[in-house]
Structure 1
């Protein structure tokens, strides 16, 4: 019987994983500079967490979650996104009581959604996200947006477009909600069954419908910006002012609502603008979620965050022809000839690796020519040749593979020699 990988998943092979590691390290370094600390939450949570946190009117909860019942009869779900789990941990571990606020967290890990697999969108995918909880200062909104824009900039991406909107506070959203119901209700029968269900529960979600996006009522739907109260207007104005001061360009799009129920006030997306990326151009989405901590059982605590897909990021880098400066190849390859040198090889390898060098050797008893070819294939900078004559002289021959130059070096000086030569390269 043969086995194949499940649809919508992928094997990240060794030649690809170096890129993943580089991106993850870039994210970790950037978060360190912004003083965001890593959090790691379980792969699965109680189903109700996502129903309450993500929103039971969303496509994620209604159609895309991997939900199962464990042996104790509990309903569990593989996490479809990272915010709800992070907020649950924030509440459960009483991080709202920490002396340093806001609490600034980041995560990198797999998420799961049952949706139609397509280019750059998988059923198991990896998200990088940040959450800042404990401040309703518009400056933290600008900081979060600045972090993700720095992330893309430092990876070399171009033709990016930041789109922002305000969904308003509770009062503003309620006013807009009534206007949307009044607008759509007379012709709601012309919309899909999902939109019909959302009319009373959360009419804002109608604006995010993919099936009815070209309906004429979508064009004339009331804009949230026309229903912002003075407090929400002032908040949104300050976010824009901070972004302008930071030199971050943006566009205001009143139709941007995001796909999750918990957003309010600031909402944003980062899109890639250019040919060759397909119909779905969004790389990152985020926004403010005041009220989510309370929904999950915590005290009144404002929050803001974003999440992005590593898969879509890699796709964008490939589309723009950007090569990541990943470290490949070996520092040295140990070539061993003869029985006595083979007995010495394991200790010599261990000593070199313990001193920080990346070294490998042959384990298939290849001849000298075959070992030289292996060293070239693996991108070794040097070949360390150890034979019977070298052992007799307490030395090795070190060959620079790029030039063919070789020198005899004593056994106790191999590490220093190679390290000094690597600094010259």
Structure 2
């Protein structure tokens, strides 16, 4: 199947969400971990789901990551995940690990299942212990349902400094069966992946074994979640978890399946959508910035350069001020660790040419300013080193970022 056919096979669903695939339910409640907002959530499928996950590459990893890894390792299948906000349960020692294990047990017991059938995720302040009595009451109050309200409640329960919930949904036909995929995520600050600093949850009713699902997720992570940055900090809790419960009844998906590329594209588009929503909702952000680097020897070089540009505080502040200062872009390129010829560099803000083959071009500052005042900005960098292209996403840096993070615990 060619690339065009694969893209055309994917359909985005309006109001798509985490419970859109067959058999999935979700909910979120206010347990008192936060002052008034929902703070404990759950995703559940009665049919055990193949599970795959990628995790933060921070050496310091929170207790829920240890517990989730343990759950998936038992059989490769789980029935759901329980999540809390307000407390990261990170750097909390043996007590933190016991609390994460207790969260898993409480969720599994609620459905009459073995402990290892649930994963755990937490987000919030590092170095504080879980208020387990509140968590217990929250888990007891969870009633997952296959409704838009349930999906929205879950999306709200996982937020920290996020302004908006993040969700999407897609579908495609595989083996004559409609395969659906939904996603939910949180992430606003402390975003600088290898893994994205975030929590991402993806559900699908496709039939696929855990090992093949992990292969698929690993193959698309570097092009999606790992290409976003907000502030250069890598967190302790981040994971992307994918659950596939098989209720679409397609033939098992493997790399040898003739429509494997459709499933990969389905997963890629879902992941990219969530990643871009996270970048756009950076703490205090007003704009989504996309950087495309064209013409490098390797894709990895292109991605590294694109991510360096979009992560530059000087580029981010210029975007906030709608200042077409292309010098900040080429300066970021020069420290990206990628070799290139500066006199072969062309830069554009949208379709406005500002630098051509290393030499400045006369352009309308008014037009450039008007373009940079948009909520979404695209920067193109063209080089002549090779044929590969890389993309990264980020956001502007505003006064509010400092305000939010200067009083994060208060």
Structure of higher CA gyration radius: 1
Q: Is the TM-score greater than 0.5?
A: no
What TM-score, normalized to structure 2?
0.24
Structure with higher helix content: 1
